[in-house]
Amino acid sequence: MRQTPPHPWPMEALPMAPARARPVGLCVLCGLPAAGKSSLARALGRGAAWDCARISYDDVIPAEAFLPQLEMSCWKQHRRQLLIYVEHFLLALKNGSSLCAPTQRIPNTWQRFVNTLTEQGLVSSESAGTEPRHRLLNPTARRPLYVVLDDNFYYQSMRYEVYQLARKYSLGFCQLFVDCSLETCLQRNRRRDPPLPDGTILLMAEKIQVPNPEKNPWEKNSIMLRNGEDNPEVEDLLCMALENPVREFQENTAAEKDADRAVCAASLLHQADQALRKIISETMRMAKENVPAKGMKTLAEELGKLKCQSLDDLRHGRFLDPASEHHGSDVQDTVARFLQKTDGLLQEYIGSPQ
């Protein structure tokens, strides 16, 4: 990004607020690994009319969450937790209060998140009281603050979850898509320590969904930066997003309603997945004393297939009442049906000849 004087807009023209509610914006950086997003994130806070809080997903989510032998749900769980942490930080900024730890948290990712904010001089390093609570530094600042989320965000639904936060708290929202050739990303990645597998980047390149403001009005504040180019429109976009925060109670467009439903469906699947895993764990524990090792392996495989089928049924609405608006009951029905099947399966194995 250019090293320029502050935006020609005078600071008085930016949306100022009482001391306990400095203007805040959410900026999503998206693109392939090694496209240049982190360099852009660091540049955003230099010589601009705002401060930046850079949240790098690579710094907060531990490397072991990406190990190929772990299920994708582990990585998704860390992403979901990180958004919760970001929301707690936004609440602290809005209320001028301390940053409080969520009741449900992954301890190592929470500490990594706090460390990121501490290193940037945004919160204190010490924790007050028995519950983790970190004091905001310079809470009366009137300079706007951009929370910059640095990740691939290759699915539209991932970015929409951030937009929902902006809408919930009436914050500025914008997206910067760093477009870099696949070959360049692969070459840069190979020089990293450690590099990602080429296959991961190739797969991501096939799936990545470029912001589409024509189809998704909520993506209107988006700019595509090709090969890390210096685009003077970036500063204009960020200032404009601060001046026009997303309104919490604005009427959702059809596209936003569709996106809301998609996020809700993903949440229901996550809830069901966690519940079914607990049932499988309990079933295997009960079977351990009565089923031989060879049978245990087969039982585990059958339970895994049954879980996948149950989640697929939930995903496609099979066996559910299409007129029902109580989505929580969909999960309960899925869990109850799964529990009934696992009980029957367990009885078959216990009752079979040893």
Give 235's contacts (C-beta < 8 A, 6+ positions apart). 4, 7, 48, 49
Q: What is the pLDDT of residue 264?
A: 62
What pLDDT does residue 329 have?
Answer: 56
pLDDT value at 345 more than 50 = yes
pLDDT, mean of residues 258-284: 74
Read off the pLDDT band of 311 (50, 70, 90). confident
Q: Which residues, at least 6 apart from 97, have a Cβ–Cβ distance to it below 8 Å?
A: 91, 136
- Please report the pLDDT score of residue 208 as a whole number: 92
Helices (H), the chain: 37-44, 57-60, 72-95, 107-119, 156-168, 182-190, 198-207, 233-243, 254-287, 293-315, 327-351
pLDDT tens by residue, 171-214: 999 999 999 999 999 999 999 988 988 998 998 999 899 999 99
Pairing of strands 172-179, 222-226: parallel
Is residue 35 pLDDT above 90, yes or no?
Answer: yes
* pLDDT classification of 145: cutoffs 50, 70, 90: very high
The residue with greater pLDDT, 48 or 198, is: 198
80-84 CB contacts, 8 Å cutoff, 24+ apart: 80/270, 81/105, 81/106, 81/109, 81/110, 82/55, 82/57, 82/109, 82/113, 83/161, 83/162, 83/165
Instruction: Report the pLDDT value the prediction gives residue 115, as an integer from 0 to 100.
Output: 94
User: What's the pLDDT tens digit per position in 82-124?
Assistant: 999 999 999 999 888 899 999 888 888 999 999 999 999 999 9
Which amino acid is residue 6, in one-letter code?
Answer: P
Exposed / middle / buried, residue 340 (Cβ in 10 Å: 0-12, 13-18, 19+): exposed
> What's the chain's average pLDDT?
81
Name the least confident of 227-236, 299-308, 316-325.
Answer: 316-325
- Is residue 123 within 8 Å of residue 137, measured between CB atoms? yes
Q: What is the pLDDT of residues 53-82, one digit of tens each?
A: 999 999 999 877 665 544 556 778 888 899
Q: Rounded to whole angstroms, how far apart are CA atoms 350 and 352? A: 6
- Rounded CA separation 202/215 (Å): 25
**Beta-carbon count within 10 A of 220 CB:** 14
Residue 321: C-alpha distances to residues 103, 203, 274, 328, 329 (Å): 34, 36, 22, 12, 10
Cα–Cα distance, 176 to 225 (Å, whole number)? 7
Pairing of strands 145-150, 222-226: unpaired
Residue 242 burial (CB count, 10 A) = 23
Q: What is the pLDDT of residue 51?
A: 92
- In this predicted structure, which of 159-163, 172-176, 347-351 has the lowest mean pLDDT? 347-351
pLDDT, residue 340, reads: 81
Quick one: tokens of 275?
A: 């519940």
Which domains does the chain possess? 11-250 (3.40.50.300), 255-351 (no CATH)
> Is there a contact between 86 and 147 (Cβ–Cβ < 8 Å)?
yes
How far is residue 75's CA from residue 79's CA, in Å, rounded to a whole number? Answer: 6
